[in-house]
Amino acid sequence: MKIMCLNGWGGKLHDRLVPYVATSAPDVLCLQEVVHSPASQKDWLTYRDGDHVLPQRANFFRDVSRALPDHVAIFCPAAQGVLWDDDQSFPSQWGLATFVHKAIPVIGQIQGFVHKKYSPIGYGDHPRSRSAHGIRIYDDSVGRSISVTHMHGLRDLNGKMDTPARAEQARRLLDLSRQVSEPDDLRIVCGDFNVEPDSETLMLLAKTGLSELVTGHGFTSTRNSQYTKPCKYADYMLISDAAAVREFDVVHDPEVSDHCPLVLLI
């Protein structure tokens, strides 16, 4: 089974990301920074937050869903704000999504917030609302259940240091993972955590018996040349049984986002 985790960067590199995902065809895709703007037929809209201006693929969720027609697609919004087409605004939901191949039974599911709550009338002040989604699936090939839970960790304008909010976020993520899992499940927790490898977040996760695969496999970055800031870690994947890992990779080529896809074979 192939499980991929990726921050999609709002679809900024849509022309690269969508073909890559279609070709890779992971059994489970955990995708963060997903845009869903059903009121607009535009391909592109603009996100504006002061000096922070970014192109956004207006219906990124739809685009990836079309690229994976054999997958069940689940969108989990964290907030609804507006995106812009010149002077015209459109309501747009922002969050994360999970895609599961239709041949894989989904036998459990959970959705919740790891920071704040759903914001229906704007994206809100930083650090903004953050959601998480967990699924429990059954792998017929080996006769076991697997839970996969992912989140997009809060963005603090002061940096990626430990904060009480990040510690609480980690505890909430663990709680959601526990709720969607049974004791004998293989548990996977992943996402763009927005923290450093020596963070309290990863320490809290490790204390529950989860093994972190990015640094554990010697990777020194989960970012690529699209990302020009000095910190090169953001994304992590953890597993409850390291012996179940057949292969793990942080994919630096092709560049489909400013984050690298994390790809696990179990």
202-225 per-position pLDDT tens digit: 999 999 999 999 999 999 999 999
- The domain that holds 109 is classified in CATH as 3.60.10.10
120-165 per-position pLDDT tens digit: 999 988 899 999 999 999 999 889 999 999 999 999 989 999 999 9
Position 230 scores a pLDDT of 86
Mean pLDDT of the chain: 96
- Cβ atoms within 10 Å, residue 23: 9
Do the Cβ atoms of 191 and 5 come closer than 8 Å? yes
| pLDDT confidence band for 94 (50 / 70 / 90) | very high
Kindly report whether the peptide bond that precedes residue 254 is cis, defined as omega within 30 degrees of 0: yes
Domain extent for 29: 2-265
Position 52 scores a pLDDT of 85
Q: Which helix (H) or strand (E) holds 62?
A: helix 60-67
Sign of the alpha-carbon dihedral angle for 140, 31, 136, 74 = negative
Report the number of distinct structural domains present in the chain: 1
Q: 187-219 burial, b if ≥16 CB within 10 A, otherwise e?
A: bbbbbbbbbbbebbbbebbeeeebbbbbebeeb
- Torsions phi, psi for 183 (to 5 deg): -55, -35
What pTM was computed for the model?
0.97
Does residue 14 have a pLDDT over 90?
A: yes
20-58 per-position pLDDT tens digit: 999 999 999 999 999 999 999 999 999 998 888 988 999
Position 68 scores a pLDDT of 98
Q: 75-110 burial, b if ≥16 CB within 10 A, otherwise e?
A: bbbbbbbbbeeeeebbebbbbbbbbbbeebebebeb
| pLDDT confidence band for 87 (50 / 70 / 90) | very high
| pLDDT confidence band for 102 (50 / 70 / 90) | very high
Position 243 scores a pLDDT of 97
| CA gap 2, 250 in Å, rounded | 13
Does residue 242 have a pLDDT over 90?
A: yes
Q: What is the CA angle 238-226-190, rounded to 5?
A: 15
Does residue 76 have a pLDDT over 90?
A: yes
Do the Cβ atoms of 205 and 238 come closer than 8 Å? yes
- For residue 142, CA distances in Å to 23, 102, 181, 223 come to 25, 17, 17, 33
Position 177 scores a pLDDT of 98
Q: Which helix (H) or strand (E) holds 205?
A: helix 200-206
